[in-house]
Structure 1
Amino acid sequence: MINVPGGPVTLNDRRTQRSWTVEVAPYLLAAHPLTQAAHAQTTGTQDGGRLPAHSLSWWDAVGYCNTLSLQEGLTPAYHLHDATDDGDEAPDGGITWDRNADGYRLPTEAEWEHACRAGTSGPRYGPLDDIAWHRDNSEDHIHEVATRRPNPWGLYDMLGNIWEWCWDLYDPEVYGSYRVLKGGGWYDPHWSCRTSVRRRSHPTLRIEDVGLRLARTPRPQP
């Protein structure tokens, strides 16, 4: 986990032409996306070594965070309330985030973008071919994590390889429970692998180019 300093970050939505600034507190973020080996060690499934764990829904990601937290003696960040009758998805408000918990969680969209930028101001933190697997260099498949150049804060694969789930709702007034995805994937064109780009997906969907990166809130200092 990398210690990410706090600070302001300005987010943009190209669809609505809206911009907003968020002040984020210091937090911890994994140096690379969750690997299939790490996922398998926790859950007993999908072991592909250092390839990113993928085809995980937002709900899978949230559940994984809680499972790993319990295994490591940390306080789970999420509380899941009663689900709908069919058991597939909790309704809006069916999950709450304990912001004081020290367990694993998904980054917020603001935390993700702040970490991706790592103090840089351009659309990317370096030349795309050097930092990301994307449509023009991936040979149409996923790659092992941390094989491209990291950003200035030591974070790998913030762009390209797989999209990453964030905590936030995308636009609840228009898209309901759809959650934010960031980062671009191995089959995305260059214009989609930019720090500011945001995508959305239904929290129950499992997509082959979508995974997660773990975050944590630091324990308060005594």
Structure 2
Amino acid sequence: MRNILLSLVLLFAAISSAIAQELTVKSFKLASSDLTAQTQPRKDLNDRNCALIKVGIGLQGVQFEGGIMGNVENKTGEYWVYMPQGNRQLKVKHTNYAPVMVTFADYGVEKLESNRTYELIVVTYPQYAITQNVTNQSLDSQHSTPQTHQTVSDNTISIPVKGRISIDMVRVEAGTFTMGATAEMKDPYDNEKPTHQVTLTNDYYIGKYEVTQALWQAVMGNNPSYSKNYNLPVECVSWDDCQEFISKLNHITGKTFRLPTEAEWEYAARGGNKSRGYQYSGSNNLSDVAWYDDNSSNTTHAVGTKQPNELGIYDMSGNVWEWCQDRLGAYSSSSQVNPTGANSGSYRVSRGGSWCEFARLCRSSCRDLTSPGNRNYDLGLRLVLSE
């Protein structure tokens, strides 16, 4: 019995040590009443006072990267990090944990200001506890037994995949809309014309979020993304890669997921039958709903951190381009029912713009064309489920 207990203890210790831990941001904010940056200043290379970030983390041996001025000061219970004004990111590292890149805009601070003091709280979590769909679900092993039921709530459903990984989907009711360069679409491209009436005769479900790296990892067993974190959208995936992913996902779930048609994508981006006629998906103010070149700090961001559109769908403008099923074809002024794109052609359509694109490319009617074998660090996908 003692040998069995000893074996169990050793096994538990081995498992515990093998679980990767990572650093996670709990909060980041301006400490408006803290004058430390002014009373204990440090100059940048232009002789201006730096911003000061007080980092509460509760660990020794923490390291920082990101244009830091001078040495980091290790105070009781916190680190003082001085950075020049205008900085937008800070990387926090420790030898026992996966690092975290803190993008200030994620917390309402576009960039640091001189003479201001900021508070950053970083905590430690097991890496498997990072959420994949912003619902605090844990990332279990890809070999875990899937749940056997889907959760339905109002116009959304949550479909289990593996372990506690699930996919949140939003119901889009059938309807008719005008597709292409409608009046609110400023400075459209020629391939968005002419406008034409499209009728979608069947309800469908579309992903509430872009496919995350956690979901891709659970299905494919790898993560091809350039910027890695489970809550970020997967990128560097080709149209062909997406077909393989969907095939495996359908085998796991017993469902029939697919990429959206271009018409389904645009109808959902415009808000379906709840559309308010916005230029972007959910707003005429792009910064409210999208990560794009003016606010992204040159990287993707966790899904669902901007405002949703009228249907409750996130990031249909910005973050990453999203593959559609269709081949690219020229528009016609004729009305169409359930269009599926051109019958032939080398290029596939992607939609929505991305973190590195300007506003014009993030409009709901904007179309891009890409070879189906291309893998770009701003190109991902969103799923559709037919009823």
TM tier relative to shorter chain: 0.7 to 0.9
Contact 1:109–1:168 (Cα < 8 Å) also in 2: yes
Q: Which runs of 4+ in 1 moved over 3 A?
A: none
The aligned counterpart of 1:166 is 324
Larger relative contact order, structure 1 or 2 (CA cutoff 8 Å, min sep 6): 1
Instruction: Write the letter of the residue equivalent to 1:191.
Output: R
Where does structure 2 lack aligned partners over 5 or more consecutive residues?
A: 1-168, 182-188, 331-341
Find the aligned partners of 1:57 and 1:111 in 2 and give their Cα distance. Answer: 20
C-alpha separation in 1, matches of 2:177 and 2:348: 19
User: Partner of 1:20 in structure 2?
Assistant: 196
1:132–1:157 contact (8 Å) kept in structure 2: yes
Between 151-160 and 13-22, the greater mean CA deviation after superposition = 13-22
- Please report how far the alpha carbon of residue 43 of structure 1 lies from its aligned counterpart in structure 2 after TM superposition: 0.7
Match 2:214 to one of 37, 40, 48: 37
1:106 equivalent in structure 2: 259
What's the Cα RMSD here?
Answer: 1.6
Letter in 2 for 1:148: K
User: Is 1:3 aligned to 2:202, yes or no?
Assistant: no
SS at match of 1:147: coil
- One-letter code aligned to 1:35: T
1:171-198 Cα offsets, whole Å, 9 max, x none, are: 288x922011100000101111110101
- CA-to-partner distance for each residue in 1:67-126, whole Å, 9 max, x for gaps? 10111123xxxxxxxxxxxxxxxxxxxxxxxxxxxx000011111111111112131221
In structure 1, C-alpha distance between the alignment counterparts of 2:304 and 2:218, rounded to whole Å: 19
Gaps of 5+ in 1: 75-102
Q: What is the aligned partner in structure 1 of residue 308 from structure 2?
A: 150
User: Larger Cα Rg: Structure 1 or Structure 2?
Assistant: 2
How far apart are residue 22 of structure 1 and its match? 1.5
1:55-70 to 2 correspondences below 5 Å? 55-70=236-251
TM-score by length of 2: 0.47
Higher strand share: 2
Counterpart Cα distance in 2 of 1:188 and 1:182: 12
Which residue pairs with 1:204 in the alignment? 373
SS of residue in 2 equivalent to 1:164: strand
Q: CA deviation at 1:63?
A: 1.5
Residue pair 1:171, 1:178 contacting (<8 A) in 2 also? no
TM-score normalized by the length of structure 1? 0.81
